[in-house]
């Protein structure tokens, strides 16, 4: 509970306590005193209600999860210099300017890039990815523990508490894994959607037969 909310709560308890003490110590209970007690009780309860609403309006930020994985970068070969630069720039921005812990781009059955905390598991799109492609819209799992299909992202990084999935037309996805629950903002979602359109335009210029994973391009990030 924020300090201001605690102060409001204690003030309400104090007002309510003083009103009760005043009523118990009075020899008589005339109408004027009755009205004063009712008003004091309402004020005390009102202050406590404000404290509760204040706490809900300013929720406690979730703590980052201790994720298992190695910092690295794996990128596909057969890409143009322009596309490699775009992937490197985009992944760097998302990993440094947002709460993302892991970044992956999947296109025509090939993982083009993994960056951040990564694993060597083979990623296969599941039901959630297919749903985002069918809808052609971003899907944000603010708390993956609530979604039965979250296991499809274990190949990206096990135990991700939050995930954003952005389709790249009909041929791929961008998967962003976060450090904590509810860590991605609306601004992050808009940025990912906008960058995906730009990336898709560049990806459509190359053939899928030219792409394959290049284990040489593994470095720390």
CATH code, domain with 108: 3.30.450.40
- Give the whole-angstrom CA distance, residue 152 versus residue 127: 8
* Domain that residue 25 falls in: 3-57
Q: Supply the pLDDT for residue 216.
A: 37
Determine, yes or no, domain membership for 65: no
DSSP state of 204: T
Determine, yes or no, domain membership for 18: yes
Determine, yes or no, domain membership for 139: yes
3-state secondary structure of 162: strand
- Give the whole-angstrom CA distance, residue 172 versus residue 166: 9
- Give the whole-angstrom CA distance, residue 49 versus residue 114: 48
Domain final residue pick, 17, 32, 57: 57
Number of domains in the chain: 2
Q: Has residue 220 got a pLDDT over 80?
A: no
147 and 39 housed in the same domain? no
Strand 70-77 relative to strand 100-107, pairing: unpaired
Q: What pLDDT digit, counting tens, does each position of 35-94 carry?
A: 887 888 888 888 888 877 766 655 556 677 788 889 999 999 888 899 999 999 999 999
Burial category of 178 from C-beta neighbours within 10 Å (exposed 0-12, middle 13-18, buried 19 and up): buried
174 and 81 housed in the same domain? yes
Q: Supply the pLDDT for residue 177.
A: 95
pLDDT interval class at 18 (50, 70, 90): confident
3-state secondary structure of 165: strand
Q: Supply the pLDDT for residue 1.
A: 59
17 and 78 housed in the same domain? no
Determine, yes or no, domain membership for 90: yes
112 and 213 housed in the same domain? yes
Percent over 90 (pLDDT), the chain: 53
75 and 48 housed in the same domain? no
Q: Supply the pLDDT for residue 44.
A: 80
Partners of 213 in beta bridges: 76
129 and 169 housed in the same domain? yes
162 and 119 housed in the same domain? yes
Q: Has residue 3 got a pLDDT over 60?
A: yes
Determine, yes or no, domain membership for 26: yes
Partners of 74 in beta bridges: 114, 218
181 and 206 housed in the same domain? yes
Higher pLDDT, 6 or 190: 190
Determine, yes or no, domain membership for 78: yes
50 and 134 housed in the same domain? no
Domain final residue pick, 27, 57, 87: 57
Which of 119, 123, 141 is closest to 132 using CA atoms?
141
3-state secondary structure of 5: helix
Determine, yes or no, domain membership for 130: yes
129 and 191 housed in the same domain? yes
Q: Which residues contact 148 (CB under 8 A, 6 or more apart)?
A: none
Q: Has residue 212 got a pLDDT over 90?
A: no
- Give the whole-angstrom CA distance, residue 211 versus residue 208: 6
Q: Supply the pLDDT for residue 136.
A: 95
78 and 184 housed in the same domain? yes
Which of 86, 78, 75, 74 is closest to 207 using CA atoms?
78
Residue 80 — φ and ψ, nearest 5°? -70, 160
79 and 45 housed in the same domain? no
């Amino acid at each position: 509970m924020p300090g201001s909310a605690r102060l409001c709560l204690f003030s309400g308890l104090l007002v309510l306590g003083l009103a009760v003490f005043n009523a118990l110590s009075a020899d008589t209970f005339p109408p004027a005193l009755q009205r004063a007690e009712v008003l004091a009780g309402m004020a005390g309860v009102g202050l406590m209600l404000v404290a509760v609403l204040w706490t809900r309006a300013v929720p406690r930020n979730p703590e980052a999860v201790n994720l298992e994985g190695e910092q690295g970068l794996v990128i596909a070969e057969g890409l143009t210099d322009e596309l490699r630069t775009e992937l490197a720039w985009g992944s760097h921005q998302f990993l440094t300017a947002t709460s993302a812990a892991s970044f992956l781009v999947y296109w025509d059955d090939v993982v083009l890039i993994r960056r951040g905390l990564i694993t060597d598991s083979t990623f296969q799109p599941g039901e959630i990815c297919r749903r985002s492609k069918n809808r052609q819209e971003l899907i944000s799992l603010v708390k993956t523990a609530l979604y039965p299909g979250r296991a499809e992202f274990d190949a990206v990084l096990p135990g991700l508490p939050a995930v954003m999935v952005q389709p790249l037309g009909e041929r791929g996805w961008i998967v962003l894994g976060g450090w904590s629950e509810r860590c991605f903002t609306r601004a992050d979602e808009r940025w990912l959607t906008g960058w995906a359109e730009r990336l898709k335009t560049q990806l459509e210029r190359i053939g899928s037969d030219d792409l394959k994973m290049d284990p040489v391009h593994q470095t720390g990030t």
